[in-house]
Amino acid sequence: MTCVKAQSLITAFINDELEIDELEEFIGHIQSCDECNEELEVYYALLTAMKQLDEDRNLSNDYNQELKGKLELSQERIIHLRYNYYRKKGVLFVIMVLMTAFFSLYHYFIPKEQVNPVEESRFKLRTSFMEKRFDKPTEELEKFLEELE
Ligand SMILES: [Zn+2]
């Protein structure tokens, strides 16, 4: 961020009108640039005093201290918002991983449709048909057939 840009944002910063990205860049510049920092201090004292007079409130004793508090609060807000942003992304990522895992496992555990080997022989077809009918293991089925005879 250039000094010109930073100084054009001073009023917006004091009125809490900056978007999170702008706010972050603005604070970064203010902390590394003495000239803009001084400019901000002057404007902050001026604008806040005007506002206080306007609202018939007592004037603050220490504008620099107040400004410092405001900068710290803004930084905390940035960290908070960024943290929430990444936390939301993280949750989304975990959900996607879980869903992917679920669907691949789901596919894996679903029993595959059994192919009926019809072409092999009529006998086999008949056996499997009977097996299904009686719903019993082959041994029991054979026993049953023997008893019938
Ligand atoms: Zn600057």
Ligand 1 centroid – CA 82 distance (Å): 25
Q: Which residue has the higher pLDDT, 81 or 32?
A: 32
Q: Could you report the per-residue pLDDT of 45-58, keeping only the tens digit for each?
A: 999 999 989 898 88
Sign of CA dihedral 11, 13, 15, 17: positive
pLDDT at 11: 95
Question: pLDDT band at residue 95, thresholds of 50, 70 and 90?
Answer: very high
Tell me the C-alpha to C-alpha distance, in Å, between residue 77 and each of 43, 120, 135. 22, 74, 68
Alpha carbons 5 and 3: distance in angstroms, whole number: 5
Q: Could you report the per-residue pLDDT of 62-83, keeping only the tens digit for each?
A: 999 999 999 999 999 998 888 8
Residue 16's CB is within 10 A of a number of other CB atoms, namely 11
Ligand 1 centroid – CA 79 distance (Å): 23
The upper half-sphere exposure of residue 69, i.e. CA atoms within 13 Å in the direction of its Cβ, equals 5
pLDDT of 31 strictly over 90: yes
Region of 56 please: left (phi>0), alpha (psi -120 to 50) or beta: left
Ligand 1 centroid – CA 36 distance (Å): 4
Ligand 1 centroid – CA 76 distance (Å): 22
